[in-house]
Amino acid sequence: MKRYVGIDVAQEQCALCIVDDAGTTLFEGSCATDPDKIVYTITAEVGEVEKIVHQSGPLSIWLTREIINRTEPPLVFRRLIYLSYAAMSDLSRAALSFASAPAGGDC
């Protein structure tokens, strides 16, 4: 079963939604906007994930690089533009739609 993560990034807290390839929500919650905390939360909830989706913004490049540096093998990211303030259900749909997208555009 493949798992996908949607992250709504904010200055202090991130909202996370983890879904499987069938669209079932496995986790909805939040954690500090800290790469170590994000990786810990994802790993504690579901272990390995296929891809991560998050919106582009001031923290995007930093967050992507820092999370990739903390995972083995590196996670695949796709940036989603203009997803800030999204409801968790929107993150679920975004995670699934980007999970099936072609590989071009990965960070």
Determine, yes or no, domain membership for 104: no
Determine, yes or no, domain membership for 38: yes
Determine, yes or no, domain membership for 81: yes
How far is the C-alpha of 47 from the C-alpha of 106, rounded, in Å?
21
- Residue 106 vs residue 1, higher pLDDT: 1
Report CA-CA distances (Å) from 90 to 3, 36, 49, 74, 105.
16, 25, 19, 25, 21
- Number of Cβ within a 10 Å radius of residue 85: 10
For the domain that residue 22 is a member of, what is the CATH number?
Answer: 3.30.420.140
Confidence of residue 75 (pLDDT cuts 50, 70, 90): low
Domain that holds residue 69: 3-99
Least confident of 2-6, 30-34, 88-92: 88-92
pTM for this entry: 0.71
Structurally, the chain folds into a number of domains equal to 1
pLDDT in tens, 33-55: 999 999 999 989 988 888 888 87
What values do phi and psi take at 29, rounded to 5?
-175, -165
- Residue 51 vs residue 28, higher pLDDT: 28
Determine, yes or no, domain membership for 89: yes
Determine, yes or no, domain membership for 84: yes
Confidence of residue 82 (pLDDT cuts 50, 70, 90): very low
Geometric angle at alpha carbon 79, from 89 and 2, rounded to 5°: 60
